[in-house]
Amino acid sequence: MAYDPSERADEMRRGAGVSLGRVAALEAADALVLDANAVAGLLEEAFGVDLTAELAQCASCWNVAEGGTLLAFVGGPGTVLRCSVCHEVVIRIVRTADATYVDARGAAFLRLPGPTAG
């Protein structure tokens, strides 16, 4: 199923409990929305693995899906990854000249693979 920003906005207006100001902000950002596969390199830098194929659970709606299904908002000073179901923030990543900051408090869990047998 392809991502359709107009369906998301219509759903929010119908009573998903989201303020119209937030809907307007999300609609304005739609031109900058990608799926997380578009930021796979950044995710691998931040987590050390290809997170797009690993499971993540949204702490807001409890949806479990591969990291690549998260919605990536890339137009700001950092990258924000939102749940594809409830659109709450799951992960924020900001790179500065001397550090990378990762805020994953919107994830109930992120599954990272264990070491491979050598």
Q: Is the pLDDT of residue 53 over 50?
A: yes
- Each residue of 14-24: pLDDT tens digit? 545 555 566 56
Distances (CA, A) of 63 to 27, 29, 46, 78, 98: 22, 23, 22, 24, 34
Select from 113, 30, 18, 16 the least CA-distant residue to 75: 30
What is residue 105's predicted lDDT score, i.e. its pLDDT? 96
pTM, full prediction: 0.71
Q: For tokens 């109930």, name the residue.
A: 108
Reduced to 3 states (helix: H, G, I; strand: E, B; else coil), residue 59 is: coil
